[in-house]
Structures are given as structure tokens and as C-alpha cells.
Amino acid sequence: MKKVKIIALIAAVIFAVLLYNFLNKVSEPTIVEISKSGVIVATVDIAPNIPITQDMVKLVEMPDESIHQQSVKEINEVLGKIATSEIINGEQVLSTKLIVPGEGNGTLAYKIEPGMRAITVSVSNITGLSNMIIPDNKVDIIGQYEVEVDTPSDEEKTIDYTTMLLENVKVLAVDNIMTEQEKNDSDVAYVSLTLEVTPLQAMEVSMSEYKGAIRAVLRSPLDEGITSLPALTVDKVIFKNK
């Protein structure tokens, strides 16, 4: 009987020691390492259509699981770009909400440079260079007109004029296609060109389509020269060497 008591006492001591060690381990704080990365967030409410400046954003460290897949990670990838919708103070800046001025990212309005306008003109297979113009090409626009003038004998005479209406004009879109890749993927003949022009040039183009005819002339991307050629009449073409 005494032997059994001794064994039971030893077992109790062992159990107590094990329980004590177990409870100590349970009570020890568990250190969990959280992986973090830098991400760009807004420091103010950023309104749409305003270029983003240095004081509008900052780089902060956030847990990786809290970072949106489309979040911007570098300040330089945000500065100067425009938000297409409001970005709230503290919100992560997403690449899908940013547009580079002059590029558009699928939106024609953002592809137009400040101070310029977009105007669409109709073209045919001949006047539009046989489906070979692509977005971002540069073109000249020739205007052709019939003008009635009075002669010394009080008779009206029709004179045909051709003039270099616009030079070195950027093509923003071909039909509704705004990128070279989209155009290369399409073999459909286009019927319109959208040009980037000044407000005055827009009026001149509109009047030329209303009262005359226009033709697009493709330029080399290496040539930005302006010719400033005078208007021609048919007699100047026929008798140019006389």
C-alpha cells in the first residue's frame, strides 16, 4: 500500500511539472511577423480632372493583405496624372483611376491637349489615304473650293481654289478607334478621322466641309515643318511653267 502511495505521489509531481510548463508556454506571447509594403495613398480629397501634385499623396507602409492589386507603389507613377473619379483622403491610389494627359486611355476627352479641340471629318477611300492612316499619325488637310467672282463685264465666273488648310495636325482617332493596336487589328475601311485642332482651325474645317471638300495628306513622323503655301487656282497648275 505504501508503495502505491509513493508511485501516485511521483505521478502527481510529474503531472504538476508538465502542467506548469504547459501553462507557461501558453501564457507566453506569440510573435507574428506581418509583411508590409509601400503604397501610395491620398493625403487630401483629390477631385477628378485635376493634375496630382506632391502634396496630394504620400507613401505609407501597409500590410500586404490590405493592399489593392491595382494600387500604385511609386510616387513618380502618380505625379502629373489626372484622376478620372474622386479619390478620398487616405484612399489607396489605383492605377485604373489615373490617366496621362494627352494619352486618353480609351477616353477621347482626356486625349485632347489643353487649349485644343477635337473635330471629326468625313473621308473616303481616296480622301482618307485608302485605309492607311492610324491614330497619332500627323496629317495635312487640303481644302478645295468653287468661288464665284464678278468679272469686269459684270458676269459671274467660277474659280476653283485649292489651299493648304491645316498642317501637321494630329489624328486622335480613326472612326472610333484611338490606338494604333486597335487599328491594326481592324481591317474595316474607315469613313472618318478625328483631328486635334485649335478652335479657329475647327471653324475653318467646318466651313470647308460645308462649302467645299477636304483631303487628308499623310506626313512623315520625322517632318514637322510648316510650308505656308499660297492657294492655287487651276490656271496656276496648268500654266505653272509659263
pLDDT in the model for residue 219: 95
Indicate if the pLDDT at residue 28 is higher than 60. Answer: no
Indicate if the pLDDT at residue 129 is higher than 70. Answer: yes
pTM for the model:
0.70
For residues 165-173, average pLDDT? 95
For residues 153-181, average pLDDT? 88
Instruction: Look at the domain 36-99 and name its fold.
Output: Type Iii Antifreeze Protein Isoform Hplc 12 (3.90.1210)
Q: Where are the domains of the chain?
A: 36-99, 111-238
pLDDT in the model for residue 54: 93
- Which residue, 86, 96, 87, 98, is CA-closest to 43? 87
Distance CA 131, CA 184 (A): 11
> What count of other Cβ atoms lies within 10 Å of the Cβ of residue 202?
16
Residues 81-112: pLDDT tens digits?
988 889 999 999 999 889 887 776 678 888 89
Q: Which amino acid is at 76?
A: N
Q: Is 167 exposed, middle or buried (0-12, 13-18, 19+ CB in 10 A)?
A: middle
Indicate if the pLDDT at residue 170 is higher than 80. Answer: yes
Residues 61-79: pLDDT tens digits?
999 888 999 999 999 999 9
- All 3 cell numbers of residue 72? 500604385
Give me the chain's average pLDDT, please. Answer: 86
